[in-house]
Amino acid sequence: MFILESKDQLEKAIIKAKKTRATVKFIKFGVYAVRGSKGNFYTIECKKVGNEKQVICECLGASKGLVCWHSAAALSLHVGLARQRKTA
Ligand SMILES: [Zn+2]
């Protein structure tokens, strides 16, 4: 799990996600599944706790507090959806 503080944090992970052509599946608002490099799916949860934006991914990197590319892929979808919700 990591706390999202700025978009800069995600920059490298987003590049990796694009290179990998990440497949992101929408499960419900705030919960997504991203296909990992071995074909397995990781569940990513994006939620707001107080003023903190928490991102939880099942993978090993994220469990060590790293920004993984699965999270970046899920977040890019999440941010778009959150924006739509506010304007809708
Ligand atoms: Zn991950």
Q: Rounded to whole angstroms, how far apart are CA atoms 42 and 58?
A: 6
User: Ligand 1: distance of its center to the CA of 66 in Å?
Assistant: 8
Residue 57 confidence (pLDDT): 97
Torsion of CA 44, 27, 73, 58, to 10 degrees: 20
Q: What mean pLDDT is predicted for residues 36-54?
A: 94
Residue 86 confidence (pLDDT): 82
User: Ligand 1: distance of its center to the CA of 87 in Å?
Assistant: 29
User: Ligand 1: distance of its center to the CA of 88 in Å?
Assistant: 30
Q: Rounded to whole angstroms, how far apart are CA atoms 51 and 68?
A: 22
User: Ligand 1: distance of its center to the CA of 74 in Å?
Assistant: 10
